[in-house]
């Protein structure tokens, strides 16, 4: 079968970093770390595993950062090369071991797979303390056990990824997709679980609390939906770059949306009841801001904006992937005594009824209950062979108006 892999070649990495500064297509060209090539269909490593036939493999912002060589090199310590990219997924069970069947899952059934590869997936007993708590994103054993190093599906050479027709999943990763949830909506379970996990870091607001969401992409839109689904009544303001993002944010429950056109900082400060004061040099400094800020764009400028527009004593939740950002004024953290909270993937969180559940299941419950058609967010579909056109599209959101792009398999 054909798969799109990341090779980890240091020579290609170095060449692409240089050429890519002047010509972006170099990041998916013949000298890049990407390889579209023939790989074997993986076989089940044991009775607790399943082979999933991919229907859709989502193109995540973190995948784009990977292709553009913007992720922190530190993550390579928990990665095994070459690996097939892709962790957003929906598909059908092509083959199921006896341990999978014991859960009531059968070949042909639609499933989504949690991307994380913690202790249970790696055959490690007893599990580490974070895994015992259900905090699987904090697992201490991502480089140990029966699998090669890798924190997640699409980052480990042994399990494959959703940018291929088939990948492997452990029984602990699998969730059945309800009949009422379309494939287009189901492929959003992973990014929606990221948004739910982030929202859980700052729930409990009433209408007198203001929340700012920086970024109108799939994670930012998901945070708005998650806050509303989980019962948060805060006033939610979204800072969105594109008009189509703004329209979707309002549909999902945002109270107000601010664009990033000329004078946007002054407009945002006004919405937050802040005065934008001018320093000797540099950007304006608001004297107050939002009680909670979610950074969902994964860029240095978005992170700087989040710190800048948080209220004194506020909380900043980092849901984007900013890697090793430059140009951040960290003085806001100590001067305003901010609490900065990181959030990675998902694990176990509290649902709308106050019950502790796997975040993937909460995401499926949200999709099944929502009156909003989340399948609409899948705006672009590509065959895997057209990966160059797909990557060009997702790196030009202003022109393409892409919300979520996916690779489509038969």
Q: Supply the DSSP string of 96-160, one letter for each residue.
A: E-HHHHTTT--TT-EEEE--B--TTTTT-SSPPHHHHHT-GGG-S-TT-TTS-S-SBTTS-TTT-
pLDDT at residue number 25: 95
Tokens of 354: 């106050």
Q: Is 81 exposed, middle or buried (0-12, 13-18, 19+ CB in 10 A)?
A: middle
Which one of 3.30.1020.10, 3.40.50.2300, 3.90.180.10, 3.90.1150.10 gives the CATH number of domain 2-177+373-408? 3.90.180.10
pLDDT at position 62: 93
* Domain extent listing, the chain: 2-177+373-408, 191-348
Residue 26's pLDDT is 96
* d(C-alpha 358, C-alpha 350), whole Å: 9
pLDDT tens by residue, the chain, 410 residues: 999 999 999 999 999 999 999 999 999 999 999 999 999 999 999 999 999 999 999 999 999 999 999 988 888 999 999 999 999 999 999 999 999 999 999 999 999 999 999 999 999 999 999 999 999 999 999 999 999 999 999 999 999 999 999 999 999 999 999 999 999 999 999 999 999 999 999 998 889 999 999 999 999 999 999 999 999 999 999 999 999 999 999 999 999 999 999 999 999 999 999 999 999 988 889 999 999 999 999 899 999 999 999 999 999 999 997 777 788 899 999 999 999 999 999 999 999 999 999 999 999 999 999 999 999 999 999 999 999 999 999 999 888 999 999 999 98
In words, the CATH class of domain 191-348 is: alpha beta
CA 15/CA 164 separation, integer angstroms: 26
* pLDDT for the residue numbered 336: 96
Q: Alpha-carbon distance 73 to 292, whole Å?
A: 30
Give me the pLDDT at residue 238, please. 98
SS3 399: helix
Beta-sheet strands, E only, within 274-373: 276-277, 285-286, 290-295, 310-318, 339-342, 348-350, 356-358
Tokens of 150: 């890798």
Three-state DSSP at 213 gives strand
CB 205 within 8 A of CB 291: yes
pLDDT at 252: 97
| Nearest partner of 136 among 155, 126, 121, 147, judged by Cα | 121
State the greatest distance between any 2 C-alpha atoms of the chain, in Å, as a whole number.
68
Answer whether the bond into residue 82 is a cis peptide, omega within 30°: yes
pTM score over 0.75: yes
């Amino acid at each position: 079968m054909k798969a799109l892999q990341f090779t980890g070649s240091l020579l290609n990495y170095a060449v692409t970093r240089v050429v890519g500064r002047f010509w972006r297509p170099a990041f998916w060209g013949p000298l890049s770390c990407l390889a579209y090539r023939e790989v074997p269909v993986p076989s089940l490593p044991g009775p607790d595993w399943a082979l999933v036939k991919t229907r859709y493999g989502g193109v995540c912002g973190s995948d784009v950062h990977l292709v553009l060589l913007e992720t922190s090199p530190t993550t390579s310590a928990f990665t095994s090369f070459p690996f097939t990219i892709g962790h957003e997924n929906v598909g059908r069970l092509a083959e199921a071991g006896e341990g999978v069947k014991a859960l009531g899952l059968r070949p042909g059934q639609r499933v989504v797979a949690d991307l994380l590869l913690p202790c249970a997936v790696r055959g490690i007993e007893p599990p580490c303390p974070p895994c015992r708590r259900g905090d699987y994103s904090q697992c201490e054993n991502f480089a140990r056990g029966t699998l090669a190093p890798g924190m997640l599906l699409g980052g480990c050479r042994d399990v494959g990824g959703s940018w291929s027709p088939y990948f492997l999943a452990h029984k602990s990763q699998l969730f059945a997709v309800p009949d009422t949830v379309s494939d287009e909506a189901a492929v959003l379970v992973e990014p929606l679980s990221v948004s739910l996990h982030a929202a859980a870091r700052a729930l409990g607001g009433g209408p007198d609390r203001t929340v700012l969401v920086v970024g109108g992409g799939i994670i930012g839109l998901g945070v708005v939906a998650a806050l509303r689904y989980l019962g948060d009544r805060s006033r939610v303001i979204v800072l969105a770059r594109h008009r189509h993002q703004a329209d979707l944010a309002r549909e999902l429950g945002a109270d107000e949306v601010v664009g990033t056109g000329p004078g946007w900082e002054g407009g945002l400060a006004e919405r937050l009841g802040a005065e934008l004061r001018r320093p000797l040099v540099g950007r304006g400094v608001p004297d107050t801001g939002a009680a909670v800020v979610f950074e969902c764009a994964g860029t240095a400028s978005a992170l700087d904006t989040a710190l800048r527009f948080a209220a004194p004593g506020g909380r900043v939740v980092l849901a984007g992937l900013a890697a090793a950002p430059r140009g951040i004024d960290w003085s806001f953290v100590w001067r305003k005594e901010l609490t900065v909270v990181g959030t990675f993937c998902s694990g176990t969180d509290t649902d709308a009824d106050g019950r502790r559940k796997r975040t993937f299941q909460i995401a499926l419950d949200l999709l099944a209950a929502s009156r909003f058609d989340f399948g609409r967010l899948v705006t672009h579909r590509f065959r895997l062979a057209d990966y160059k056109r797909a990557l060009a599209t997702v790196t030009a959101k202003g022109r393409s108006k892409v919300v979520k792009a996916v690779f489509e398999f038969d």
